[in-house]
Amino acid sequence: MHALRRLLGAAALIVVADGTAASSTTDLRFNGFAAGKRIVNVDARVDGQDEAFRAYAGTFSVTGTNPVDTFVAWCIDIATTLHQAGTSKTYVKQDVLDAAQKADLQKLFDHAYDEDDVLSSQVKTAAFQVAIWDAIYEDDWNAGSIVPGAKADPLEPDYFRIIDVNAQSFTAVRDQANAYLALARDMSNPTPASYKLLQFDGRGETQSLVTVAAMPLPGGVLLLASGFGAAAMVRRRRRRGEDAAQA
């Protein structure tokens, strides 16, 4: 887990000095969940299809081949099934989300994401995945409600909410997800980070994923490693608080 925390997904793409990324393919192996998971019951409409299903919510551990590196990632394609742990799929390194989705997801990472915090408990790692889904599919910044938003085709509005998890953890996951979403909505973190969203398109064959690379602080310098790939080495944010107890 500590290796995953250090990487922050920075080596997931070949990042160049101007912040752009080379478009190419890479094989990604799903290793399992980096900090555990929780089962969530989802009520959603995605791409015009009404869905009610159970899903695992958590942070993925993924190993890529271009460059070879292990990092954390999250699902941005809830309607598609992820390939099995220990197996690999070929992804295209390109944007999957539209401009509005990316803008809200950017706010979520910049104002609510702290690697140590998110990986500190099953509740928090599940809640952050739930917050990602809500930021992508809705505009209401509330993981427990349905408000079809402007991100969707008005004739086929997308929506998302979790309707329960289980008797012991539903409230905790929902409330923690909403705490992350509130930070993003209000942009209220006094010391926000600056992350580069890195997207992997599963092309309908497996779940599309997102990870992040931390960008340099103002006046900083992005250091690039030579060789087959490049890993951004950046200053980490100070932890915002104490680790939560394992749920």
Residue keyed to tokens 């931390």: 214
Q: How far is it, in rounded angstroms, from Cα 239 to Cα 89?
A: 34
Residue 239's pLDDT is what?
Answer: 39
Find out whether 104 and 135 touch, Cβ atoms under 8 Å.
Answer: yes
DSSP class of residue 76?
A: S
Decide: pTM greater than 0.85.
no
Sign of CA pseudo-dihedral 77, 148, 173, 211: positive
Find out whether 210 and 133 touch, Cβ atoms under 8 Å.
Answer: no
Buried-exposed string 138-175: b where 16+ CB fall within 10 A, e elsewhere = bbbbbbbebebbebbeeeebbbbbbeebeeebbebbbe
pLDDT along the chain (247 residues), means of 10: 33 33 82 94 78 90 88 92 94 93 96 96 96 90 75 57 70 94 95 94 94 67 32 35 40
Find out whether 120 and 114 touch, Cβ atoms under 8 Å.
Answer: no
Residue 115, phi-psi category: left (phi > 0), alpha (psi -120 to 50), beta (remainder): alpha
Q: How far is it, in rounded angstroms, from Cα 245 to Cα 16?
A: 38
- In the chain, the largest separation of any two C-alpha atoms, in whole Å, equals 51
Q: Is 104 helix (H, G, I), strand (E, B) or coil?
A: helix
Residue 151's pLDDT is what?
Answer: 59
Sign of CA pseudo-dihedral 41, 61, 169, 146: negative
